[in-house]
Structure 1
Amino acid sequence: MKWLYVLVSDSVALFVAILSTMWVINASKAHGLTGKDINKVDKPDVPLLGGVGIVAGFVAGSFALLALNFSFSLIVEPILLTSLLVGFLGVLDDFLNIRQSVRAFTPLFAAVPISLASLGHSTISIPFVGPVNFGLVYYVLVVPAALTITSNAFNMLEGLNGLSAGMGIVMAAAFAFIGLRQHGYPQVAGLLSTVLIACLVGFLVFNRYPAKVFPGNVGTYFIGALLGALGISGYMLTALAVLYVPYVLEFVLKARTKFRGISFGIPQPNGKLSWTGKPQSLTHIVMKMGRFSEPQVVGVLWGIELIFALIAVYLQTTVIVIR
């Protein structure tokens, strides 16, 4: 039965994500909502707010899943509400360019639905340590902190065509593999992970090099929050932590610049990207490794994330076994 859920919900999500992204591209062009792709020599104007297509696809896929089995609402609704609240923050940031301090802490409030849905499950199985019951601290500190970190960190590592969508696909695939092998909340989180994959694949059709649309903050914040919500609600916190190791490194690099650093490169006439000076992002470290084009830099980072995804799956399914 779960494969029927996957087939129906993912098909709906993919279809809606593609149609919505096509609409966003046309609407953004018509209203002048574009940004410069500064990784290209000619710096073309590219439509923004492509993340709206991802949001629309995920909402449609989630509703399809609920139509097939409404008992999933106990986990689907909190995940959906939390990720939509953070996605709304991304919309505000795209239009109003809100202060970084506000962006950093607003997701704390969006964590309320996930915290409430997690009542009664405050134990985390830590690799090589064992189960640790955090009690009330889990709901008021661990969950909000995890969601805040995942949404903000995912937004940091962006700026190249297809980068965030591909990273999200790899991370969601790890959650899907872990969750679908279990029952209860983890399995539903696994099903929702496949819905996210379908949305990101649909979006990547237009966001791959050369990009026809950018995700915008609405896209990156939404994906990051959704990944955090899936990891928390599916009791896959160890996997979530491992999957975000590259983003921790990105945070350290950005912190060195007081978060004024960029992830873009310097485009060359031969189609390669370069960077001079100290790296401000993981993208710059890859650029300094060789003469890479933009798709190659993105591919290397996808590969790095894939390695951490394999480690995450191993730890969550072999070392921890449960939760």
Structure 2
Amino acid sequence: MVDFFLYFGIALLVALFLGPVIIPQLKKMKFGQAIREEGPEAHLSKSGTPTMGGLIFIVAFMTPSLIFLDIENSLVQLLWFSVLGFGAIGFTDDYLKVVKKHNLGLKARQKIVLQLIVGIIISVIAYGNSSETWVPFLDAPVDLGLFFIPFIIFISVGFNNAVNLTDGIDGLAASVTSVVALFFASVSFEMGQFQLAAINLSMVGALVGYLKFNWYPARVFMGDTGSLALGGYVVGMAIVLKMPLILVLTGIVYVLETLSVMIQVVVYKRTGKRVFKMSPIHHHFELSGWHEKKVVYVFTGITFVGSLVGYVILL
């Protein structure tokens, strides 16, 4: 039996160790975050806070697997490629932002093209393992055949950007995703996939350790390096477990964040009016008077409820 607490503990300790090592180096290299002028005014004081802190939990997450797991396992390789592939796109984006000292980085078209490339590779690898996927309320998985490939590409790119949108408040993306990781760990255990359960607990430990430095007021931001890597983890694990559709429930916050942006853009273009004070929706609640920590607590609670509903449906 896999020692789950060992995976969690090692990832936690590595994250706690790396924080005081990496953050001063990011400051020394002046890898500070530029804050969007059109964002909440209260965020302007955060300008210069070190970014690319996602490296902390990425390394911490991978360490237990490097020590104990068979990394030649195709499922582990798929997950790692998803994390590192999308994370590399985020790293490139962050690097360009830091070098240019403004909040641009990769152009939207460039980022989408790179995400599509990673998504295509993931879909082909996954298709080579199985083209089946779990559908709620059905007793057996459904074989999507060749449709599986475009379906996985859509899920990969869509949810990768959705997780990225969630990273806009201190501790939000890490807190929400730690609950998602706990959900995946529970499902993996129920399925008898004990190694996958251990990997998910590694992510929980890595994010808990990272939150020591990212909780309000944050000493470091994960940057696109971290948020896109987290998105890669979420979609990669959902694909490995053959249940990407469950992300609609356990990833309900990611969905709401994305929908708020889409609704805001469509309505504004058609009517010139805004539905929300600002999108993504976490900024709407900020401007409505909610403290950042309250937003994190509520959104994490919503994720827990969505995950619980998904878990009950699976059972």
Aligned to 1:314: 312
In structure 1, how many angstroms separate the alpha carbons of the residues matched to 2:246 and 2:263?
27
Residue identity matched to 2:130: H
Output the TM-score relative to the length of structure 2. Answer: 0.84
Alignment partner for residue 133 of structure 1, among 143, 166, 171? 143
Aligned to 2:163: 154
Which whole-Å deviations, capped at 9, do the CAs of 1:30-73 have from their partners, x for residues lacking one?
A: 1111126763574463111100111111221221231xxx2872
Aligned to 2:74: 74
Alignment partner for residue 61 of structure 2, among 58, 61, 75? 58
CA 1:142 to 1:216, structure 2 compared with 1: closer, same or farther past 3 Å? same
Aligned to 1:21: 19
- Please say which of residues 40-49 and 81-90 is displaced more in the overlay: 40-49
Shift of 1:10: 2.5
Which whole-Å deviations, capped at 9, do the CAs of 1:175-222 have from their partners, x for residues lacking one?
A: 111111222xx4433221111111101100100011110000000000
Shift of 1:102: 2.2
CA 1:42 to 1:116, structure 2 compared with 1: closer, same or farther past 3 Å? closer
In structure 2, how many angstroms separate the alpha carbons of the residues matched to 1:99 and 1:58?
29
Q: Does 1:142 align with 2:151?
A: yes
Which whole-Å deviations, capped at 9, do the CAs of 1:107-159 have from their partners, x for residues lacking one?
A: 23224246424525222232235542211221x21222221122111001121
Check whether the contact 1:238–1:315 (CA below 8 A) recurs between aligned residues.
Answer: no
Output the TM-score relative to the length of structure 1. Answer: 0.82
Alignment partner for residue 98 of structure 1, among 77, 92, 106? 106
Q: Does 1:39 align with 2:32?
A: no
Which whole-Å deviations, capped at 9, do the CAs of 1:240-277 have from their partners, x for residues lacking one?
A: 23222322222222124549x9xxxxxxxxxxxxxx96
Shift of 1:304: 1.3
In structure 1, how many angstroms separate the alpha carbons of the residues matched to 2:138 and 2:73?
33
Check whether the contact 2:88–2:225 (CA below 8 A) recurs between aligned residues.
Answer: yes
CA 1:194 to 1:72, structure 2 compared with 1: closer, same or farther past 3 Å? farther
- Please say which of residues 101-110 and 291-300 is displaced more in the overlay: 101-110
In structure 2, how many angstroms separate the alpha carbons of the residues matched to 1:245 and 1:106?
25
Larger helix fraction of residues: 2
Residue identity matched to 2:114: T
Check whether the contact 2:126–2:239 (CA below 8 A) recurs between aligned residues.
Answer: no
Residue identity matched to 1:222: A
Which aligned segments of 4 or more residues in structure 1 are displaced greater than 3 angstroms? 36-45, 128-131, 256-259, 276-279, 284-288
CA 1:285 to 1:307, structure 2 compared with 1: closer, same or farther past 3 Å? farther
Aligned to 2:207: 200
User: Residues 1-323 of structure 1 correspond to what in structure 2 (within 5 A)?
Assistant: 1-2=1-2, 4=3, 6-35=4-33, 39=42, 42-43=45-46, 45-66=48-69, 70=70, 73-96=73-96, 97-111=105-119, 112-113=121-122, 115-129=124-138, 131-138=141-148, 140-183=149-192, 186-258=193-265, 278-287=277-286, 291-316=289-314, 318=315
Gaps of at least 5 residues in structure 1 are: 262-275, 319-323
Shift of 1:226: 0.6
Gaps of at least 5 residues in structure 2 are: 36-40, 97-104, 269-274
- Which structure's relative contact order is higher, taking Cα pairs within 8 Å and 6+ residues apart? 2
Q: Between Structure 1 and Structure 2, how many residues are aligned? A: 294
In structure 1, how many angstroms separate the alpha carbons of the residues matched to 2:44 and 2:61?
34
In structure 1, how many angstroms separate the alpha carbons of the residues matched to 2:68 and 2:73?
9
Query: Aligned to 2:130, what secondary structure does the other structure show?
Result: coil
Aligned to 1:272: none
Percentage of pairs with the same residue: 24
Residue identity matched to 1:205: K
Q: Alpha carbon RMSD of aligned pairs, Å?
A: 2.6
In structure 2, how many angstroms separate the alpha carbons of the residues matched to 1:257 and 1:240?
23
Shift of 1:29: 0.8
CA 1:115 to 1:311, structure 2 compared with 1: closer, same or farther past 3 Å? farther
CA 1:209 to 1:124, structure 2 compared with 1: closer, same or farther past 3 Å? same
